[in-house]
């Protein structure tokens, strides 16, 4: 494998990283304090990002995106990861590659406006009784003439409160379920019977909503679906794999790298007992362990991304990345707070926010326990080798 990064990608990642530090990070404190991104500042910074071509970099050039492959996008995601998820979503676009499977009028209605940043899409998978076991969903859709009739409840839906449309995973054949009986249906906001019940307040990830949604006899045109009827589980899980790799794996590397830089600088300047705390072996160990953790995770992310770009199906490695990255970020954030001592838990520094934000990554998109179970099954039943 060639580990050389092209000059073009070096320029792109440096430019994105500089933009994040200079334009985006200054918005973090106010967003965290008010739980709302200031509209005037958001509009300005988002417009700057779009003008520089930083919006929807993961989407193909054919539909107006940046056209980056999976590995190159992970390099960019490292830089994006140095700020909060809320700001990444609003400024750089949370645009899901699966939207490119829209056909006909849906491309004009949803795909192109989303890539341009004029529309927001939310993905509705999780339910009160179906978390990591996504195939256990109860939300259902049945055909009635030329319309789908949708009923059910979703919760913890990111951006569900402000989305212009929601892609809902629903059972359309109760016997087949994940094997040909789940379909992705598209629900526009303001559709009768579709309600945002509440925003569920979280310990972290402030600045964007996590909504509970209900669907009460919501009627949807028969052709308002994403992908083939019955193939929704397969399409959604393929998209979730990309989220685990880039949004969790690469972003965790970026945020942990930011914490490590803070630890390094503090260890060199903070003195106790008339010497920099970086001279103490226990502080050195926390810094060294963090550097090792970050390097190992970064190699896992890039190796897995390379395999995806080369047409392989490294789903087991994606699970490994998800576990390693989410738990690594928690460890590094914890060490960062320890190195800073009392200052680490104050709101004067971003460390306590990073610590809270990091905690949920071990839960969403499949818990660490579920992914470990999947990895173990592959090793035991299929003789997985690396």
Contact 233, 172 (CB under 8 A): no
Q: d(Cα 327, Cα 385) in Å, to the nearest integer?
A: 23
The whole-number pLDDT of residue 242 equals: 80
Burial 54-67 (b: 16+ CB within 10 A, else e): bbbbbbeeebbbbe
Q: What is the mean pLDDT of residues 225-250?
A: 89
Number of neighbouring beta carbons within 10 Å of residue 29? 13
- Give the phi and the psi of residue 82 in degrees, each rounded to 5: -80, 5
347-361 residue pLDDT tens:
999 999 999 999 999
Contacts (Cβ under 8 Å, ≥6 apart) of 211: 122, 155, 157, 159, 160, 161, 196, 197, 198, 199, 200
The whole-number pLDDT of residue 386 equals: 76
SS3 label, residue 263: helix
Answer yes or no: is pLDDT of 94 > 70.
yes
Given the candidates 3.30.360.10, 3.30.110.70, 3.30.365.10, 2.40.110.10, the CATH classification of the domain at 121-226 is: 2.40.110.10
Q: d(Cα 266, Cα 384) in Å, to the nearest integer?
A: 43
- To the nearest 10 degrees (0 to 180), the angle between helices 251-269 and 351-359 is 150
Answer yes or no: is pLDDT of 59 > 70.
yes
What is the pLDDT confidence band of residue 133, given thresholds at 50, 70 and 90?
confident
Q: Which of 181 and 241 is assigned the larger pLDDT? A: 181
Given the candidates 3.40.630.30, 3.40.50.720, 1.10.540.10, 3.40.718.10, the CATH classification of the domain at 7-103 is: 1.10.540.10
Q: Is the dihedral of CA 262, 265, 269, 275 positive or negative?
A: positive
What's the full length of the chain, in residues? 386
Q: What is the mean pLDDT of residues 58-87?
A: 96
Answer yes or no: is pLDDT of 1 > 80.
no
Q: d(Cα 229, Cα 179) in Å, to the nearest integer?
A: 11
Give the whole-number percent of the chain exceeding pLDDT 70. Answer: 99
Cα 88 from chain centre: 9
What is the average pLDDT score of the chain?
A: 94
Q: What share of the chain is helix, strand, coil (3-state, %, to 5)?
A: 55, 15, 30
Answer whether CATH 1.20.140.10 is correct for domain 234-382: yes
Nearest to 343 by CA among 257, 260, 266, 264: 266
Answer yes or no: is pLDDT of 382 > 90.
no
Of the spans 100-109, 112-121, 123-132, 309-318, which averages the highest pLDDT?
Answer: 112-121
Domain map (residue ranges) of the chain: 7-103, 121-226, 234-382
């Amino acid at each position: 494998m060639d580990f050389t990064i092209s000059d073009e990608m070096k320029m792109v990642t440096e430019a994105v990283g500089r933009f994040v530090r200079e334009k985006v990070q200054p918005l973090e404190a106010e967003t965290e304090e008010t739980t709302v991104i200031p509209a005037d500042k958001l509009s300005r910074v988002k417009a700057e990002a779009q003008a520089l071509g930083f919006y929807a970099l993961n989407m193909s050039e054919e539909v107006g995106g940046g056209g980056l492959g999976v590995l190159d996008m992970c390099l960019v995601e490292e830089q994006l990861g140095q700020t909060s998820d809320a700001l990444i979503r609003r400024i750089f676009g949370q645009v899901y590659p699966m939207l490119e499977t829209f056909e006909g009028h849906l491309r004009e209605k949803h795909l192109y406006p989303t890539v341009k940043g004029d529309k927001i899409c939310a993905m509705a998978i999780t339910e009160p009784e179906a978390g990591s076991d996504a195939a256990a969903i109860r939300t259902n859709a049945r055909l009635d003439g030329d319309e789908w009739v949708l009923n059910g409840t979703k919760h913890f839906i990111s951006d569900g409160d402000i989305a212009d449309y929601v892609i809902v995973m629903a059972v359309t054949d109760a016997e087949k379920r994940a094997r040909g009986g789940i379909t992705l249906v598209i629900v526009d906001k303001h559709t009768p019977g579709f309600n945002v019940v509440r925003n569920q307040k979280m310990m972290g990830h402030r600045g964007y909503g996590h909504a509970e949604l209900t669907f009460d006899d919501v009627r949807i045109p028969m052709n308002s679906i994403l992908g083939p009827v019955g193939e929704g589980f397969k399409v959604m899980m393929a998209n979730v794999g990309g989220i685990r790799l880039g949004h969790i794996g690469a972003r965790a590397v970026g945020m942990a790298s930011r914490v490590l830089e803070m630890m390094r600088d503090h260890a060199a300047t903070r003195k106790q007992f008339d010497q920099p705390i970086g001279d103490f072996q226990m502080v050195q160990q926390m810094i060294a362990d963090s550097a090792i953790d970050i390097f190992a995770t970064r190699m896992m992310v890039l190796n897995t991304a390379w395999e995806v770009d080369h047409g392989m199906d490294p789903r087991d490695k994606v699970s490994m990345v998800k576990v390693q990255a989410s738990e690594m970020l928690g460890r590094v954030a914890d060490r960062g707070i320890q190195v800073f001592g009392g200052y680490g838990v104050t709101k004067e520094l971003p460390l306590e926010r990073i610590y809270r934000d990091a905690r949920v990554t071990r839960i969403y998109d499949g818990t660490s326990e579920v992914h470990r179970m999947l990895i173990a099954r592959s090793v035991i039943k299929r003789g997985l080798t690396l």
